[in-house]
């Protein structure tokens, strides 16, 4: 029975009893009893369990909302807020660069960003112009976008893993007038430099030979910054708190990466929510091993430095073997993670240093319940700050009280205080399901649904700034969601809420899946693979691998000629796609099922995954450790064995430890895969000799000979090498 009806019946009974002249005490007791008897006790149970959490959440929400209002009224920007931080702690370390050991104080960071601002003005750039930044994580990247922002120039933070078409696209959609690239990415720049044209000015951060600089039409950046004034630039920036700060690229739900707009108020909101929700302190030292082209690393991490005065240690590249040693070396108290990072740390050998640190808080997203408890227990990290949110979304949530597995919550007592909802969608098409009034249907506790957030452009908490592309922005907005005439942001993610209002990530809908901490656009990968294969039909989708976070990429490819060459294809894929976007599994088919509108049907492909029992198609796995590609022919000529190693008996084909290797061991522990291992059809599992319940009692020559799984490639970018 719904709460409103229950309350109406209870109040009606109270009025009736009073009409019959019953005493107040009897009437109230009877009314309360009716309320409890009709299910009201569940609501009171929820109130008792969540009141403290909700009050804390309301406090954080109000604190951030008031700060946003004040900054909006004063027309502050991130550079002006940073200037206030510099005044508070001028000589305190702001950024520490682990790669060189260099420490930048707040004053030094301010002065370098001033030099960047003067340099930008010297180039003739004005407020509203865009400059692309393409370099690996380092403090200079922060000084660059901060200095550009001081004169109103907007940075486009390019993912340093991108190559060729994706790189050209990201620079192009930003409308950048110039690009600053790191010398470490010279090979990527050489591949695309010609396509930029001579109108785009280029600057190199780092040392390159004169011939290379000439071929790139680039100028060295450091001498220009060294000669630029360190004083604040002239007041040429007329931007306000609601204007654009920079662009961060996200794959969104379809197509090539989109340039998500980050305004000054959004930057502040994300950083402030993290600071207050997870009770960070001014004396905290943050270990930031996430890439700075991401909002997690650049806003949730570096934002604590610029806005709240925390010291942030910038790690060029995550290292599982050095993680805890770094935390001890720099006296870190807060670390950042994505789910995979915690799993990588758990896969490391036990070391004394893993419990000798002073880390009290780990902040991030994607932490599975099993990894969560193992992580906190083994490494003695008392608090986990799990959150959910995309760069551009207006429906971020946070797990403030450490509920294992939850990525956040929304109050069941006062749900409208923070207007987000889970709404029902069609599982096949992901279209919103609507009621007779044309409104979206909210999910009940336990029902998975699409997360949406009501849009109000006048409210910094509720606004949706979208992307550089207006067309892409429109695709993320739905109308008539909560009520007639409203608008809401579509997250593209399926979550489920429990009775207490805790939310749990369930799935990534649409044409995107998450792998290795990155959003992978299936449309982009399909286009690249199809081009490499002469415009063959290609379907790309994510598949679940037991024990591994995210979804591994799988590509179904049409090959009617039977001439598919694994080695050649792998080499081309490695040159065209970043590591996280390369398919882990291949499925080679003679034809592809399509709809009446010539769209490839992925539902069946996703359902079948890489289960060889579901199809006679050849399935390949990106083998991580084998010295060469294993060639078990699933259809050997009559009378011939499929065993490529004549003379080997069946016992030699069984792994020495007597059981199959699980998928999670292959991906996270990096076990060697010998050429004698193959899929066990009888007990079925997922990979290579994958058995879900080792030891495998049924492995035999028949299993090996009947397998239709092959392995393609021998170098996996997904296995972590510390």
Given a cut of 70, whether residue 162 has pLDDT beyond it is yes
Backbone CA torsion sign across 638, 644, 650, 655: negative
pLDDT of the residue at 18: 66
Residue 405 region by backbone torsions, left for phi larger than 0, else alpha for psi between -120 and 50, else beta: left
Q: What are phi and psi of 301, to 5 degrees?
A: -90, -70
Q: How far is 375 from 381, CA to CA, in rounded Å?
A: 8
Confidence of residue 570 (pLDDT cuts 50, 70, 90): confident
Confidence of residue 579 (pLDDT cuts 50, 70, 90): confident
Q: Give the mean model confidence (pLDDT) for residues 32-49.
A: 76
Given a cut of 70, whether residue 346 has pLDDT beyond it is yes
Cα-only R_g, the chain: 28
* Cα separations in angstroms, 693 against 343, 467, 609: 21, 47, 19
Quick count: other Cβ atoms within 10 Å of Cβ 673? 23
pLDDT of the residue at 673: 34
Confidence of residue 709 (pLDDT cuts 50, 70, 90): very low
Q: How far is 262 from 268, CA to CA, in rounded Å?
A: 10
Given a cut of 80, whether residue 656 has pLDDT beyond it is no
Q: Give the mean model confidence (pLDDT) for residues 641-647.
A: 34
For the chain, the domains span 3-72, 77-91+102-263, 414-510, 512-712
94-153, pLDDT tens digit by residue?
999 999 999 999 999 999 999 999 999 999 999 999 999 999 999 999 999 999 999 999
* Cα separations in angstroms, 645 against 636, 659, 690: 14, 21, 21
Range ranked top by mean pLDDT from 249-253, 316-320, 702-706? 316-320
Confidence of residue 28 (pLDDT cuts 50, 70, 90): confident
Q: Domain 414-510 - what CATH class?
A: mainly beta
Confidence of residue 652 (pLDDT cuts 50, 70, 90): very low
Backbone CA torsion sign across 53, 59, 60, 62: positive
Q: What are phi and psi of 357, to 5 degrees?
A: -90, 175
Q: How far is 722 from 709, CA to CA, in rounded Å?
A: 30
User: DSSP code of 200?
Assistant: S
Q: How far is 200 from 195, CA to CA, in rounded Å?
A: 10
CATH level 3 topology of 512-712: GMP Synthetase; Chain A, domain 3 (3.30.300)
Confidence of residue 242 (pLDDT cuts 50, 70, 90): very high
Query: Judging by DSSP bridges, how do beta strands 502-508 and 512-515 pair with one another?
Result: unpaired
Domain 77-91+102-263 carries which CATH code? 3.40.50.980
User: DSSP code of 417?
Assistant: G
Instruction: Cite the beta strand spans of 463-609 per DSSP E.
Output: 477-479, 487-497, 502-508, 512-515, 518-521, 538-543, 552-558, 585-589
Contacts of 331 (CB under 8 A, 6+ apart): 285, 358
Confirm if 339 and 367 have CB atoms less than 8 A apart.
yes
Q: How far is 315 from 117, CA to CA, in rounded Å?
A: 25
More confident position, 570 or 17 = 570
Q: What are the beta bridge partners of residue 557?
A: 538, 588
Confirm if 284 and 63 have CB atoms less than 8 A apart.
no
pLDDT of the residue at 575: 87
Lowest mean per-residue pLDDT among 227-241, 305-319, 543-557, 666-680: 666-680
Q: What is the pTM of this model?
A: 0.78
pLDDT of the residue at 31: 72
pLDDT of the residue at 441: 97
Confidence of residue 716 (pLDDT cuts 50, 70, 90): very low
Residue with tokens 């654009």: 244
CA nearest 575: which of 464, 460, 715? 715
Q: Give the mean model confidence (pLDDT) for residues 21-42.
A: 70
Q: Max alpha carbon distance in the chain (Å)?
A: 100
177-226, pLDDT tens digit by residue?
999 999 999 999 999 999 998 889 999 999 999 999 999 999 999 999 99
Given a cut of 70, whether residue 636 has pLDDT beyond it is no
- Average pLDDT value over all residues in the chain: 82
pLDDT of the residue at 2: 63
Q: Give the mean model confidence (pLDDT) for residues 679-694.
A: 32
Q: Give the mean model confidence (pLDDT) for residues 222-239.
A: 91
Q: How far is 424 from 443, CA to CA, in rounded Å?
A: 6
pLDDT of the residue at 646: 32
Given a cut of 70, whether residue 409 has pLDDT beyond it is yes
Q: How far is 309 from 275, CA to CA, in rounded Å?
A: 11
CA nearest 440: which of 459, 455, 426? 426
Given a cut of 60, whether residue 655 has pLDDT beyond it is no
Q: Give the mean model confidence (pLDDT) for residues 226-254.
A: 86
Q: Give the mean model confidence (pLDDT) for residues 538-542.
A: 90
450-490, pLDDT tens digit by residue?
999 999 999 999 999 999 999 999 999 999 999 999 999 99
pLDDT of the residue at 6: 65
Q: Give the mean model confidence (pLDDT) for residues 37-53.
A: 83
More confident position, 650 or 622 = 622
């Amino acid at each position: 029975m719904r709460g409103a009806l229950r309350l109406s019946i209870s109040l009606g009974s109270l009025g009736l009893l009073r009409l019959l002249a019953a005493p107040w005490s009897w009437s109230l007791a009877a009314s309360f009893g009716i309320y409890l008897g009709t299910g009201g006790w569940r609501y009171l149970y929820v109130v008792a369990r969540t009141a403290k959490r909700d009050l804390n959440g309301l406090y954080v929400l109000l604190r951030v909302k008031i700060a946003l209002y004040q900054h909006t009224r004063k027309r502050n920007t991130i550079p002006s807020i940073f200037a206030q931080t510099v005044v508070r702690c001028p000589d305190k370390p702001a950024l520490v660069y682990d790669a060189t050991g260099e420490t930048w104080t707040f004053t030094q960071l301010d002065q370098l960003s001033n030099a960047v601002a003067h340099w930008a003005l010297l180039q003739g750039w004005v407020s509203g112009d865009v400059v692309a930044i393409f370099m690996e994580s380092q403090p200079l990247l922060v000084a660059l976008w901060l200095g550009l922002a001081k004169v109103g120039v907007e940075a486009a933070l390019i993912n340093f893993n991108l190559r060729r078409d994706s790189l050209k696209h990201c620079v192009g959609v930003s409308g950048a007038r110039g690009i600053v690239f790191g010398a470490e990415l010279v090979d990527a720049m050489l591949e695309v430099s010609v396509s930029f044209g001579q109108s785009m000015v280029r600057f190199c951060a780092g040392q390159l030979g004169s011939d290379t600089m000439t071929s790139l039409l680039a100028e060295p950046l450091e001498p220009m910054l060294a000669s630029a004034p360190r004083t604040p630039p002239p007041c040429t920036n007329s931007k306000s708190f609601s204007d654009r700060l920079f662009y961060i690229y996200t794959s969104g739900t379809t197509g090539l990466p989109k340039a998500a707009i980050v305004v000054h108020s959004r930057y502040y909101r994300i950083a402030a929510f993290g600071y207050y929700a997870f009770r960070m302190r001014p004396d905290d030292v943050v270990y930031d091993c996430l890439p700075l082209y991401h909002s997690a690393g650049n806003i949730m991490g570096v934002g604590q430095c610029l806005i709240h005065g925390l010291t942030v240690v910038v790690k060029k590249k995550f290292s599982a073997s050095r993680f805890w040693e770094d935390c001890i070396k720099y006296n870190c108290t807060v670390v950042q993670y994505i789910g995979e990072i915690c799993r990588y740390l758990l896969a490391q050998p036990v070391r004394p240093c893993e419990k000798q640190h002073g880390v009290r808080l780990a902040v991030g997203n994607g932490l599975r319940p099993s990894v969560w408890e193992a992580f906190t227990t083994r490494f003695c990290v008392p608090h986990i700050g799990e959150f959910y949110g995309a760069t551009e979304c207006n429906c971020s949530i946070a797990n403030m009280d450490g509920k294992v597995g939850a990525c956040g919550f929304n109050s069941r007592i006062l749900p409208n205080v923070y207007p987000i909802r889970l709404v029902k969608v069609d599982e096949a098409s992901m279209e919103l399901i609507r009621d007779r009034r044309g409104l979206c249907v909210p999910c009940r506790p336990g029902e998975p649904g699409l997360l949406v957030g009501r849009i109000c452009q006048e409210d910094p908490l509720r606004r949706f700034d979208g992307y550089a592309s207006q067309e892409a922005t429109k695709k993320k907005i739905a109308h008539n969601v909560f009520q007639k005439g409203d608008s809401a942001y579509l997250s593209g993610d399926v979550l489920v809420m429990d009775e207490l209002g805790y939310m749990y990530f369930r799935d990534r809908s649409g044409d995107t899946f998450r792998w290795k901490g990155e959003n992978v656009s299936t449309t982009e990968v399909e286009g690249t693979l199809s081009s490499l294969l002469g415009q063959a039909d290609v379907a790309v989708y994510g598949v679940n691998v037991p024990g591994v976070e995210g979804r591994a990429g799988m590509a179904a490819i049409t090959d009617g000629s039977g001439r598919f060459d694994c080695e050649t294809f792998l080499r081309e894929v490695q040159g065209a796609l970043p590591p996280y976007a390369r398919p882990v599994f291949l499925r080679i088919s003679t034809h592809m099922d399509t709809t009446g509108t010539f769209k490839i049907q992925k539902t069946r492909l996703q359902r079948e995954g890489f289960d060889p029992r579901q199809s006679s198609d050849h399935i390949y796995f990106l083998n991580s450790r084998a010295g060469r590609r294993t060639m078990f022919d699933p259809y050997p000529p009559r009378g011939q064995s499929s065993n490529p190693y004549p003379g080997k008996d069946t016992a030699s084909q069984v792994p020495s430890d007597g059981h199959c290797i699980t998928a999670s061991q292959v991906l996270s522990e990096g076990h060697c895969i010998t050429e004698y291992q193959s899929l066990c059809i009888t007990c079925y599992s997922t990979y290579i000799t994958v058995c879900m319940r080792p030891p495998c009692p049924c492995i035999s020559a028949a299993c090996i000979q009947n397998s239709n799984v092959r392995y393609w490639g021998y170098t996996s970018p997904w296995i972590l090498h510390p």
